[in-house]
Amino acid sequence: MDARDLHTPVLLERCVELLAPALDRPGAVLVDATLGMGGHAEAFLERFPDARLVGLDRDTDALRLAGERLERFGDRVSLVHTVYDGIADAAASVGLVRVDAVLFDLGVSSLQLDLADRGFAYARDAPLDMRMDQTRGTTAAEVIATYPEGSLRRIFERYGEEKLAGRYARFIVDARQKAPIERSGQLVDILVAATPAAVQRAGHPAKRVFQALRIEVNAELSVLERAIPAALDLLRVGGRIVVMSYQSLEDRIVKRALADATASTAPAGLPIEMAEHAPRFRLLVKGAELASDAEREANPRATPVRLRAAERVRAA
**How do residues 115-157 score in pLDDT, each as one tens digit?**
666 667 888 899 999 999 988 999 999 999 999 999 999 999 9
Q: 95 and 25: one domain?
A: yes
**CA–CA gap between residue 216 and residue 222 (Å, rounded):** 10
CATH number of the domain enclosing 134: 1.10.150.170
Is there a contact between 268 and 130 (Cβ–Cβ < 8 Å)?
A: no
- Is 112 annotated as contributing to ligand binding? yes
Report the percentage of the chain scoring pLDDT > 70. Answer: 90
pLDDT at 249: 94
Same domain, 64 and 190: no
CB 37 within 8 A of CB 62: yes
| Greater model confidence, 161 or 7 | 161
Q: Using H for helix, E for strand and C for coil, what is the string for the chain?
A: CCHHHCCCCCCHHHHHHHHHHHHCCCCCEEEECCCCCCHHHHHHHHHCCCCEEEEEECCHHHHHHHHHHHHHHHHHEEEEECCHHHHHHHHHHCCCCCEEEEEEECCCCHHHHHCHHHCCCCCCCCECCCCCCCCCCCCHHHHHHHCCHHHHHHHHHHHHCCCCHHHHHHHHHHHHCCCCCCEHHHHHHHHHHHCCHHHHCCCCCCHHHHHHHHHHHHCHHHHHHHHHHHHHHHEEEEEEEEEEECCHHHHHHHHHHHHHHCCCCCCCCCCCCCHHHCCCEEECCCCCECCCHHHHHHCHHHCCCEEEEEEECCCC
Mean pLDDT of the chain: 92
State the pTM of this model: 0.90
In the predicted structure, residue 271 carries a pLDDT above the cut 90 = no
Query: Count of domains in the chain?
Result: 2
Of 185, 201, 218, the last residue of a domain is 218
Mean pLDDT of 3-30: 88
CATH number assigned to the domain comprising residue 64: 3.40.50.150
On the question of pLDDT at 166 being above 90, the answer is: yes
| Confidence check: pLDDT of 277 > 90 | no
Q: What's the confidence (pLDDT) of residue 123?
A: 81
Q: Is residue 241's pLDDT more than 50?
A: yes
Q: Judge if 285 and 149 occupy the same domain.
A: no
40: annotated binding-site residue?
yes
Contact 23, 32 (CB under 8 A): no
Confidence of residue 198 (pLDDT cuts 50, 70, 90): confident
Residue 266 has pLDDT above 90, yes or no: no
In a shared domain, residues 48 and 87: yes
Q: Which of 34, 17, 54, 3 is nearest to 103 (CA)?
A: 34
* Cross-strand pairs, 77: 53
Was 277 annotated as part of a binding site? Answer: no
Residue 110, pLDDT score: 61
Q: Are 230 and 148 members of one domain?
A: no
Q: Report the pLDDT value the prediction gives residue 115, as an integer from 0 to 100.
A: 60
28 and 151, same domain (yes or no): no
Q: Has 84 been labeled as part of a binding site?
A: yes
Q: Are residues 213 and 170 in the same domain?
A: yes
Question: Which residue, 170, 191, 218, sits at the end of a domain?
Answer: 218
Answer yes or no: do 167 and 299 share one domain.
no
Domain that holds residue 168: 118-218
Is residue 312 scored above 50 in pLDDT?
yes
Question: Beta strands 77-81 and 52-57: pairing type?
Answer: parallel
Is residue 57 part of an annotated ligand binding site? yes
Alpha-carbon span 171 to 167, nearest angstrom: 6
pLDDT computed for residue 275 by the predictor: 65
201: pLDDT strictly greater than 80: no
Q: Is 105 annotated as a binding residue?
A: yes
Same domain, 19 and 152: no
Instruction: Single out the residue in 218, 237, 268 at which a domain terminates.
Output: 218
Residues 136 and 255 in one domain: no
On the question of pLDDT at 6 being above 80, the answer is no
pLDDT, mean of residues 211-234: 97
Question: In this structure, are 130 and 186 located in the same domain?
Answer: yes
Q: What is the mean pLDDT of residues 207-220?
A: 95
Rounded mean pLDDT, 101-126: 77
145 with 200, same domain: the answer is yes
The residue count for the chain: 316
Q: Does the structure show a pLDDT above 60 at 114?
A: no
pLDDT at residue 1, rounded to an integer:
47
Residue 186 sits at the vertex; the CA angle it makes with 108 and 141, to the nearest 5 degrees, is 55
